[in-house]
Amino acid sequence: MVGVLALGPLALFAASAQANSLNPTATTRKNSGTPNSNIVVKKNGTVIKYGDKYITYSAPSSKLDALGQALFMENCASCHGTQANGVPANGVAGAYPDLVGLGPATIDFWVASGRMPAKDTTAVEAPRRQAALNPQQAEAIAAWVNSLQPSFPYIPKPHLKNANVSDGAALFALNCAACHTIEGDGDALAMSTFSPSLRNIPAYQVVEAIRTGPANMPRFTGNLSDKQVNDLTKYVTTEIQHPNNPGGFGLGGLGPVAEGFVALLLGVGFLVLICYWIGERT
């Protein structure tokens, strides 16, 4: 543990490569982000689509491979190597992680959410920002990396129409709220890391994050079914992202601190001014 801390931020990326070695056959539960699902579509012996009525996972189109390779060489290879298998940095093997075998959803999430290519490669945690590459380019990079070694999970598409928001809220409180807060605003965590806000994240990226566990986030595979992930995603993209603030102001969802600040400083301050006006010096 001490070693990991001493190696600093780069080592954090390294750990994700190990953690993401998902063996789909080891998952006993059906419909949990792997081809162990109700619907599996194959073409030339290769799985190109799987899932169920809640979420479908599609392989990125192999037609994008060439574009993806070009984009990878331009944007990613300087850190992750020309074979996407990671390179040592500061003498630490795997400090820039091996991307082969992580599954297209992982690559797509990091690129489409603007976290990669990293703006600051020494940062402890890459923040979500305006994506440098558009969604199709992200998919292309995922397609090329996947062509090196096909792996799961594929890029998900949740079907939210019939999802159950109420079940999603319960699952959110149980699995997500500890780190992301009950309002989904994100918060500080250990060792300069933080859990990001969920206010501005598209539905398919919510599923990608749940299924792949980016950075320090745990992965949710066999313990959440596709139906449960679908419910969760609906809750995040409706109630969390469009909160119904009964008081008119959400105050950033920061809870009693922000509310106390407003009540005491602004509210009591205003009352003091009123008293000053009512009162009269004798």
The three-state DSSP-derived secondary structure of 87-126 is EEECCEEEEECCCCCCCHHHHHHHHHCCCCCCCCCCCCCC
Q: Does 28 bind other proteins (CB under 8 A)?
A: yes
Count of positions on this chain that bind other proteins (CB under 8 A): 41
Q: Which residues from 169-228 bind other proteins, rule CB under 8 A?
A: 174, 178-179, 189-191, 193, 213, 215-223
DSSP 229: H
Q: What is the nearest approach in angstroms of other proteins to the Cβ of residue 5?
A: 8
Of 16, 12, 15, which Cα lies nearest the Cα of 193? 12
Task: Enumerate residues 6+ apart whose C-beta is below 8 A from 53.
Answer: 38, 159
Would you state the structure tokens that stand for residue 206, as one six-digit string? 């919510």
| Single residue of 3, 45, 91, 247 touching other proteins by CB under 8 A | 247
Radius of gyration, CA atoms only, the chain: 22
| 280 forms part of the interface with other proteins (CB under 8 A) | yes
Stretch that binds other proteins, among 27-35, 48-56, 87-95, 157-165 (CB under 8 A): 27-35
Query: Measured from the CB of residue 191, what is the shortest distance to other proteins in angstroms?
Result: 6
Residue 277 lies near other proteins (rule: CB under 8 A) = yes
Least distance between other proteins and beta carbon 220 (Å): 6
How far apart, in whole angstroms, are the C-alpha atoms of residue 132 and residue 150? 25
Size of the chain, expressed as the number of residues it contains: 282
- Pick 44 or 276: Cβ nearer other proteins: 276
**Least distance from other proteins to the Cβ atom of residue 66, Å:** 32
Is the distance from CB of 231 to CB of 164 less than 8 angstroms? yes
Compute the distance between CA of residue 271 and CA of residue 232 in angstroms, rounded to an integer.
43
Among 4, 39, 73, 272, binds other proteins (CB under 8 A): 4
Residue listed under structure tokens 């009525």: 53
Stretch that binds other proteins, among 17-25, 67-75, 87-95, 235-243 (CB under 8 A): 17-25
Cβ neighbors of 81 (< 8 A, separation 6 or more) are: 87, 96
Note whether 125 and 192 are within 8 A (CB). Answer: yes
Q: What part of residues 227-246 is at the interface with other proteins (CB under 8 A)?
A: 245-246
Site for other proteins contains 29 (CB under 8 A)? yes
State yes or no: residue 19 binds other proteins (CB under 8 A).
yes
Kindly indicate which of the ranges 16-24, 43-51, 68-76, 107-115 contains the residues binding other proteins, using the contact rule CB under 8 A: 16-24
Minimum distance from residue 16 beta carbon to other proteins (Å): 6
Q: Rule CB under 8 A: is residue 12 a binding residue for other proteins?
A: yes
∠ CA 182-110-149, rounded to 5°: 130
Considering only residues 16, 31, 37, 237, which one is a binding residue for other proteins as defined by CB under 8 A?
Answer: 16
- Considering the rule CB under 8 A, would residue 22 count as an interface residue with other proteins? yes
Smallest CA-to-CA distance from 102 within 205, 16, 204, 203 is with 16
Residue with tokens 């009123």: 274
Binding residues for other proteins (CB under 8 A): 1, 4-5, 12, 15-16, 18-23, 26-29, 174, 178-179, 189-191, 193, 213, 215-223, 245-249, 277-278, 280
